[in-house]
Amino acid sequence: TVPQYITLTKASKMFALSHKTLRRLFDDGTISGYRTEGGHRRISLKSMQQFVERDDAFVLDVLHRMGLR
């Protein structure tokens, strides 16, 4: 079964983003999740997938407008 929430380390490896970037995205509300009692972040996998899809769509749009795709 696929987990609903993943650790910062797992998200970093899966989506090729640094821990610092993921912490910033979490803290500013761009991606959602929760903090454990110990203060560790757990990232919503669905939120990460939506973020990546939005980001991919933006990049593809820019490349298209530049005539590169």
Return the pLDDT at 56.
75
How does DSSP classify residue 43?
E
Q: Return the DSSP state at 66.
A: T
pLDDT, residue 3, reads: 79
pLDDT of residue 53: 83
CA 35 centroid distance within chain: 16
In this structure, how many other beta carbons lie within 10 angstroms of the beta carbon of residue 15? 17
Report the chain (69 residues): mean pLDDT per 10 consecutive residues: 88 88 93 96 93 76 66
Q: Cβ neighbours of residue 66 under 8 Å, at least 6 residues apart?
A: none
Q: What pLDDT is attached to residue 23?
A: 95
Tell me which DSSP letter residue 69 carries.
Answer: -
**What is the predicted pLDDT for the residue at 36?**
97
Measured between alpha carbons, how far is 19 from 31 in angstroms, rounded to an integer? 13
What local confidence, expressed as pLDDT, does residue 69 receive? 57
